[in-house]
Amino acid sequence: MSLACATRAQVTSAPHTADRADQAAEKIGYRRERMNDRVRVTVDGAVAKVALARPDKHNGVDFAMLRGVIAAQAQLRKRRDVRAVIVHGDGPSFCAGLDFKSVLARPLEAAVMATELWSPRRNVFQEWSMGWREVGAPVIAVVHGNCFGAGIQLALGADIRIAAPDARLSIMEAKWGLVPDMGGPTLLRELVAIDVAKELAMTGRIVHAAEAKALGLVTHVSDDPLAHALRLAAEIETRSPDAVAAAKRLLQEAWTAGEGRALAAERRWQRRLLGTSNQRAAVRGNQGNGSQREPAFGPRRIK
């Protein structure tokens, strides 16, 4: 069950008209630079790791974790030196979904948060997954153990998902008589056919890693998904950070757009890359005496 669904179940009135998710979040004392012990961000060289840090609760989501993830996204949007982001979970699971007991123990906060469902724009619950799309570096989710409800929606927000063979995934809101509402349906459009999405959302059934790979929910299944993610991050580091960021933006924009808008997006992003310092560095790295040289890229310019 997702956090937004739970708060919706508790409070069904008090409309909210905030225009932006961060404005709404300010009402509960959240500021984008604030971190907490539910989420840990470390940067090693050009790779950032974001760890969900409630291992004793299988990284069950409470309000503090929601705020911590959004704060991590905001922090990493500012880091032009970060070339890849790896999101993973401490302990036995990636994220088992809502910590329902914790939410029920804070009825006043739940009431305020429930008003987010009346926001005319993307709300703080949807930032949980959708916010990764605005990080200029590719985001890789490393999934193991349980990945349910809010957890699968978080993973869907990543650009790439690598699952351990023991991973168990479920769009579990149907179990509670609700629908996924933390960005999952929007993100599923890019990954699976509508009949598959409907089946998963209507049944809430659990799928294991191999089936999730066959359905398109995960990109790779690996015996050591974190090591796999680090190898992929190292490969991405060999490419221009601007080209990587532009590819992410272009594909997100063009994937569900009509032909005209998609082709226009290709032209626009290519114009932004041609002749830039990092594009010239990529060319130099592929020239000279028949041998390649490691390109000397500068900081990423594209957000």
Residue 114 counted as domain residue: yes
- Say whether both 132 and 265 belong to one domain: no
Residue 165 counted as domain residue: yes
Q: What would the mean pLDDT of 217-245 be, rounded to a whole number?
A: 98
Identify the pLDDT of residue 34. 58
- Say whether both 46 and 73 belong to one domain: yes
Helix (H, G, I), strand (E, B) or coil at 106: coil
Q: What would the mean pLDDT of 239-263 be, rounded to a whole number?
A: 97
State the chain's mean pLDDT as an integer. Answer: 88
Identify the pLDDT of residue 259. 98
**pLDDT tens-digit series, residues 179-221:** 999 999 999 999 999 999 999 999 999 999 999 999 999 999 9
Q: What would the mean pLDDT of 161-173 be, rounded to a whole number?
A: 97
- Say whether both 227 and 103 belong to one domain: yes
pLDDT: which is higher, 4 or 154: 154
- Say whether both 190 and 89 belong to one domain: yes
Identify the pLDDT of residue 287. 80
- Say whether both 158 and 79 belong to one domain: yes
pLDDT band at 11 (very low <50, low <70, confident <90, very high): very low
Residue 115 counted as domain residue: yes
- Say whether both 30 and 74 belong to one domain: yes
Residues in CB range of 154: below 8 A, 6 or more apart: 69, 87, 95, 128, 129, 141, 182
Residue 49 belongs to domain spanning: 3-236
Residue with tokens 């000397």: 296
- Say whether both 88 and 146 belong to one domain: yes
Residue 89 counted as domain residue: yes
Identify the pLDDT of residue 116. 84
Residue 106 counted as domain residue: yes
Residue 298 counted as domain residue: no
Please say if the pLDDT value at position 13 is more than 50: no
- Say whether both 196 and 248 belong to one domain: no
Q: What is the CATH number of the domain that holds 9?
A: 3.90.226.10
Helix (H, G, I), strand (E, B) or coil at 42: strand
- Say whether both 281 and 209 belong to one domain: no
- Give the number of other Cβ atoms within 10 Å of residue 266's Cβ: 12
- What is the C-alpha separation between 3 and 63, in angstroms, rounded? 8
Please say if the pLDDT value at position 224 is more than 70: yes
Q: What would the mean pLDDT of 163-179 be, rounded to a whole number?
A: 95
- Say whether both 227 and 121 belong to one domain: yes
- Say whether both 184 and 277 belong to one domain: no
- What is the C-alpha separation between 3 and 296, in angstroms, rounded? 44
Q: What is the CATH number of the domain that holds 254?
A: 1.10.12
- What is the C-alpha separation between 242 and 298, in angstroms, rounded? 9
- Say whether both 155 and 270 belong to one domain: no
**pLDDT tens-digit series, residues 17-73:** 334 444 444 443 444 445 689 999 999 999 999 999 999 999 999 999 999 999 999
Count: domains in the chain: 2
- What is the C-alpha separation between 208 and 188, in angstroms, rounded? 17
